[in-house]
Structure 1
Amino acid sequence: MLWPVPRTPTGEKPLRVMPWWLVLVGLLAAGLLGWLVLDWLLGEADRAAQPDTRATLRIDAIRTGLTVVAGTGGGLALLLAARRQWISERAQRHQEAVAAQEQAHRDRAQAHVEAVAEAGQRHQDRQAEAAEHDAAERRLTELYTRAVELLGNDKAAVRLGGLHALERLGQDNPAQRPTIVAVLCAYLRMPPADADAGEAEVRRTAQRMLTRHLRADDDAFWPGVTLDLTGAHLDGFDAAGCTLVDADLTGAVCAGTTSLAGATVRGRLSLGATFADLICDDLRGDAEIVLDDARIAGRLSFDRAEIGGGLSCRHATVARAYFRGTTVGRTASFDGTRFTRSATFREAVFLSGLSMDHAAVGGYAGFRQARFADLALFRWTEFGGQTWFERARFDGAANFGRARFHDLATFDGATFARPPLVDQARAAAAGPHVWPEGTTVARLDDDWLLLTDP
């Protein structure tokens, strides 16, 4: 935008031209003044008595009159000279002001031109970036599409190539990693081909790719991705040392040993699946761990795990369970769970409530030196083998109402903050049981003892 240049600087009035008649009036006034002075002085000279004196006085009067006229004219000339000087100075100031305004106008015009040029350059840069982005996106799409097509090939070797292509794409493009992990999980959720050794290798490779990028101490770590393996078919899934965020294995079928040993878990870890063995030793994190309806044919181990969130293992079926030295920060529930062979909770710490209502332990049940910081419920629990609460510590209420002890039960050295409730609990008549202090024991028949509260 261009701005007009004003003719006069701001705050100054326009300069007016002096009219010619004003100079004429000044001259006439000077002549009139000189004439009046001359007339007055001549009149005074004529009053002298002596002719010589009178003549001298008249000469002096004429000289004085001419002097007055000359002085008046000189004053007028001085005023005109002063006006010319003032006009000259004002003209100089005006020229300087006009020059400054013109320079400012040129600067604004230059700035405008530069701004327009910069805006044009930015527009060109944006267009170039958009074009480059579109080209990169097209290339990524082509690579991704090609890799996915390879996964659908009939030959196992080609499918392996597709997996490695996807992994390389994710390693080079972090924004694509969640999508690539989703594709790998979807592949593992697909039913495997029967008796296909090549397909088994492809699936194991996909598993290794997933877990390789979930280890925080590895340069290939992909943070912020989640695993959706619901209903997946896994074989020897090894996520030991991985960082798992909202991992979901609900309904999965896991052959071999599934290992989460030393893993760090966040959010929610859903393990309601079928396992041959599930090892979670030294697991850490604040995730809520859900094993509801899980089926574990062999070993379930959480030895030395530190579970900051809750633990839910309702209505699960477990052959052998190990929670030795485990710490659970929130409520732990094993309601309705069947431990077909044994369950060991030696030195486990439950910082919140523990509930094993309607649970069943087919063999040995060990709670030696376990600590229950809050409510501990064992109502209607079936203990099929020896049950040990030796030196266990109950800081809250404990309830064994209607529980059944089919073999030796001992609470030797156990401490209770308040008397435990054992109303209508039953125990096998044979065996040297050790009950909590104050428990009333009566023989029900030849096979059973009846426990009642004092």
Structure 2
Amino acid sequence: MAVPGTSPPDERLRVMPWWLVLIGLLLAALLGWWVLYWLLGEADRAAAPDTRATLRIDAIRTGLTVVAGTGGGLALLLAARRQWISERAQRHQEVVAAADQAHRDRVQAHAEAVAEAGQRHQEHQAEAAAHDAAERRLTELYTRAVELLGNDNAAVRLGGLHALERLGQDNPAQRTTIVGVLCAYLRMPSPDDAREAEVRRSAQRMLTRHLRADGDVFWPGMRLDLTGARLDDFDATGCALDDADLTDATCTGTTRFTGATLRGRLALAATFEDLVLDGVTGDAKIMLDDATVSGRLTVERAEIGKLSCRRATIAAASLRATSVRRTAKFDHARFTEGASFREAAFHSSVSMEHATFTGQADFRQARFADLALFRWTEFGGDVWFTDVDFDGPANFGRARFHGPASFEHARLAYRPRVDQARATASAPHVWPDGTRVEPLDTDWLLLTDP
């Protein structure tokens, strides 16, 4: 049985024996003789001699015709057999030719496949050799740069920094490692030496230069681990930061993140002189928990995802016109000089429980879209909630107002809770409508809920 798509098997041809032809001729002669004998017998039965002679002639003619016809039939059969053999031979030649061509094609395809495999193998070996050579060169350059960075000479260390920077610029796969090395260098103890301070400032500038998405030198996706580092006038203005950790860092001068794009988490539980976050954007969680800002904190006209300043100690703060999309927490925070939240917008809950404002607290024209908690908050100076929108519940329970408090023109969706809040009796106040105020003693007024 032939398999589809393959040539049919060639059946072996059998040669016709000579005696078979002889038998065919004898049979044709016998048939002619028998027909002639029978017809002559029939002709001899005729009564008239003339009729008998005519019939005998016809009988002989018919017998010869039968013999001739039988012979012709045999000849036609032999001719048909020759034609069939010829066609079969032609078909066999075609099948053999097709098989030969298919075999040649398979041989050619195999040769091409072998050649292609050999070429690929050679290319792979060449690529592997080139990769190994490049890796060895990178390793040597990296090792040399790190050795320079550990040199006792400040100028040599500065050269090591530039070597690392060039290595990272030319090899994107090495940038994460190089940023880690630079961060580790800034985390190392810093001697009080002017030349070392310049080297460290150069390391800071290298980091921030490659975090600004404004040219070919931008290194995207970098994360900064500056825990415990010593930073001087660290300037990340306009940088794009994916997670940055400055926990326990000591930052002298002004630390700037002006106009930065922040993603992930920005941990700022560090010690700052001045901290500037003006105009920052992004969905990052800014963590100032336990931070100390001895100078001024400014977060003006910023778009922040989440803000947490719990237990922070801040001299002066300004969050003017800043928008916080998620929760903002200032629990137990201390503002020793003053704080301004003027025109700020808090789109989620705000908690300032147990916070302390030693100086004035300015919330004029601010908006609280959700819960606002000021329970146990100490207001040491003037506090303004003038023209504030409280779209959610507000709670000032047990708060302390040591200076004048003004809620003039404040818009409250709900009556604020003021249970057991106290205000100084020596200053003028403007309370929300419906607030019950009664003297507690000569120094304090007691605020209670209706």
Please, what TM-score do these two structures have when normalized by structure 2? Answer: 0.95
1:232 aligns with 2:229: yes
Which residue does the alignment assign to 1:276? 273
Alignment match of 1:78 (pick from 62, 76, 79): 76
**Quick one: distance in 2 between partners of 1:380 and 1:113?**
88
Partner letter of residue 125 of structure 1? E
Which residue does the alignment assign to 2:246? 249
Report percent identity of matched pairs: 76
Alignment match of 1:432 (pick from 410, 425, 428): 428
SS of the equivalent of 1:267 reads strand
CA contact (8 A) 1:332 1:355 kept: yes
Instruction: Tell me how large the CA RMSD over aligned residues is.
Output: 1.8
Cα distance per residue 1:176-207 (max 9 Å; x no partner): 1000000000000011112x111111101110
Please, what TM-score do these two structures have when normalized by structure 1? Answer: 0.94
Partner letter of residue 186 of structure 1? A
Instruction: Quote how far apart the aligned CAs of 1:63 are.
Output: 4.2
**Quick one: distance in 2 between partners of 1:94 and 1:370?**
99
**Quick one: distance in 1 between partners of 2:293 and 2:127?**
54
Instruction: Quote how far apart the aligned CAs of 1:436 are.
Output: 1.3
1:375-386, aligned counterparts within 5 Å?
375-386=371-382
Instruction: Quote how far apart the aligned CAs of 1:414 are.
Output: 1.0
SS of the equivalent of 1:247 reads strand
SS of the equivalent of 2:108 reads helix
SS of the equivalent of 1:93 reads helix
Alignment match of 1:412 (pick from 408, 414, 418): 408
Instruction: Quote how far apart the aligned CAs of 1:264 are.
Output: 0.5
CA contact (8 A) 1:9 1:94 kept: no
Cα distance per residue 1:79-110 (max 9 Å; x no partner): 11111111111111111122112211221222
Q: Paired residues, what number?
A: 446
Instruction: Quote how far apart the aligned CAs of 1:50 are.
Output: 6.0
Which residue does the alignment assign to 2:326? 330
1:156 aligns with 2:154: yes
1:47-446, aligned counterparts within 5 Å?
47=45, 57-194=55-192, 196-307=193-304, 309-446=305-442
**Quick one: distance in 2 between partners of 1:349 and 1:56?**
140
**Quick one: distance in 1 between partners of 2:263 and 2:54?**
130
CA contact (8 A) 2:10 2:92 kept: no
**Quick one: distance in 1 between partners of 2:65 and 2:342?**
136
Instruction: Quote how far apart the aligned CAs of 1:21 are.
Output: 3.0
CA contact (8 A) 1:239 1:259 kept: yes
**Quick one: distance in 1 between partners of 2:118 and 2:407?**
85
CA contact (8 A) 1:396 1:417 kept: yes
CA contact (8 A) 1:378 1:403 kept: yes
**Quick one: distance in 2 between partners of 1:386 and 1:57?**
158
**Quick one: distance in 2 between partners of 1:97 and 1:41?**
54
CA contact (8 A) 2:221 2:241 kept: no
SS of the equivalent of 1:240 reads coil
Partner letter of residue 265 of structure 1? L
Unaligned runs of 5+ in 2: 1-5
- Greater CA deviation, 344-353 or 420-429? 420-429
Unaligned runs of 5+ in 1: 1-7
**Quick one: distance in 1 between partners of 2:365 and 2:290?**
28
CA contact (8 A) 2:403 2:423 kept: yes
Instruction: Quote how far apart the aligned CAs of 1:18 are.
Output: 2.6
**Quick one: distance in 2 between partners of 1:188 and 1:209?**
12
